[in-house]
Amino acid sequence: MVKSSYLRFGACAETGGGGARREEGGGDLDTPTARRLWLVNEARDAGCETLEEAARGDIPPEFVTVIGSRVAGDSATVWLLTNDRPPFEPYAVHCERRNGRWYWESGSGGFGRGTPDGVLETARRFGWL
């Protein structure tokens, strides 16, 4: 296994869907996914106009429901349900604002212990769990 960094795709409408963000992590560069992510040009990432757009990343909008967000200065957490109908997959994303543009920073599948009760309640109303 080769230790590597990888890129996270961005998909802001005004940047034509291009963009990527380098992330550090372990990975096998011989997998198709690792090769594809490695080849993306991170210089194309111009950020997004809206927080929701940055949080969505490369997921088509019809497959994402934003169910909550918390903004503190230039940092934000956004909670999403992915898929267009149940069963939904929960996803939490951290974004940063730089020079008036929002950037995807990290994300994780599932909702963590710090997920607000209102977000969990909204997710349940949509049919999650």
Please write the tens of the pLDDT for every residue from 101-123: 999 999 999 999 999 999 999 99
Q: For residue 31, what pLDDT is reported?
A: 61
Q: Domain limits at 36? A: 3-126
Q: In this structure, which amino acid lies at residue 61? A: P
Look-up of token digits 């969990």 = 120
Counting the structural domains of the chain, the total is: 1
Give pTM, 2 decimals. Answer: 0.69
Phi and psi (nearest 5°) for 82?
A: -105, 155
Closest by CA to 89, choosing from 107, 109, 105, 69, is 109
E strands, the chain, are 3-9, 20-26, 64-72, 75-82, 89-98, 101-109
Q: What's the average model confidence in pLDDT over 5-17?
A: 45
